[in-house]
Amino acid sequence: MPALIGISCCRKAFGPFGAINHAVSDTYIQAAASVIGAVPVLIPASPRAVDIPTLLERLDGIILTGSRSNIQPALYNGPPHQEGTPEDPERDAVTLPLIRAAVEAGVPILAICRGLQELNVALGGTLHQRLQDLPGRIDHSTPLQAFARVRTGKAHLVHLAPNGFLHRLFGRASIAVNSLHNQGIDRLAPGLVVEAWAPDGTIEAVRLANAAGFALGVQWHPEYDFERDAFSRRIFEAFAEALTKRRLVPAFAAD
């Protein structure tokens, strides 16, 4: 049977009356279905509607998605956001405890953009709120524009940690990535190791060392170009391999 992949949603207002919807970009759905061969299961951004133990009993893996919203600063003892910064406290109330429970249960996690930041905060790390305001940092955000290939195109290189997971996965020292974020990791959470850096020193990828299951976070968006970029596709393939490995373990244990 195909794997079941939980994909985190955001709360977003749609339509002429601003009705609240639970939403996720179609790019995550397509990556889960076409590369992994999985059945996507949307995880609503509502702690009242999500029973984490039930989810983890049934899901084979979790993809934590990107979003325009930022994690509430109070969750990592940070200063208040600038006025007008989008937040999604309902999503925070689902994803952070979900991450901690999934790590404990060994459920594979692929954390993308905001998801990487959630992984870091959930495990005890902190965030920079606006990288572009820090001395020596580049602006990691991309202006909103209609032409998607420009908006989501490659923006800078990331340097891969020598002999790290991504270095071994890609077989090279650096790759080009897109860049659509303002926030970034400040203090790394205990247990996380850095897998990649931007040229300005910003942490671009992390992995949970000694994890019972696969737990990888990337600051860029491989779901945007997995159909034409081999490195983006390889991330989802590695996640799929971890899902297969975990699903085989109970079968071996039963023999």
Catalytic positions, please?
113, 221, 223
**Residue type for position 218:** V
**H-assigned helices in 156-229:** 165-170
Alpha-carbon distance 76 to 70, whole Å? Answer: 12
Using CB atoms within 10 Å of the CB of residue 74, give its burial: 0 to 12 exposed, 13 to 18 middle, 19+ buried. exposed
Distance of CA 24 to the CA centre of its chain: 13
SS3 state of residue 204:
strand
Using CB atoms within 10 Å of the CB of residue 195, give its burial: 0 to 12 exposed, 13 to 18 middle, 19+ buried. buried
Beta bridge partners of 5: 40, 61
Please, what is the end-to-end C-alpha distance for the chain in angstroms? Answer: 20
Please give the structure tokens belonging to residue 71. 């994690």
Nearest to 28 by CA among 123, 155, 113, 141: 113
